[in-house]
Amino acid sequence: MRNAAAGDASTQSADRNDGHHSIVSDVLSLIEHVQASIALIEAALEREAALGNADIPANIVVLDDVTPRYMKTSAALSTCRAGLGVALHILLDARTTRHETGALAAGDRRPLHLAGRA
């Protein structure tokens, strides 16, 4: 009975660790998607700026109603990215805190691979 209970506890611990790792991976994926969207918006703004600097005849009026929306969208995505960064920091800090207190089993101490991710 004792081994069965110990096995059940390690299974629960592994499930918690897999769940935590899954959440961290999802947050990292969201951050990457948000950063890609911001890059697309910045590229579109640069294209519009380049077109704005082109020689436009004096009798042509250009109504630029897209740039303000791009800028607002970029600002909203930057705020989102910052919030996701905070969420990721909290998740990683919670994992570190649990490691320091010894709350995780030795098998749960595998490192998260965050290289190349912001």
Task: Indicate the domain borders of the chain.
Answer: 2-108
Q: Residue holding tokens 């209970």?
A: 5
Residue 98 has pLDDT above 50, yes or no: yes
Q: Do 43 and 89 meet the contact criterion of CB atoms below 8 Å apart?
A: no
CA angle 102, 107, 108 (to 5 degrees): 60
Please report which helix (H) or strand (E) contains residue 44, including its range.
helix 2-52
Q: How high is the pLDDT of residue 108?
A: 47
Q: pLDDT tens digits, residue range 24-78?
A: 999 999 999 999 999 999 998 888 777 765 666 666 655 566 788 888 999 999 9
Q: How high is the pLDDT of residue 61?
A: 59
Summarize the confidence of residues 93-106 as an average pLDDT: 60
Between 73 and 113, the higher pLDDT residue:
73
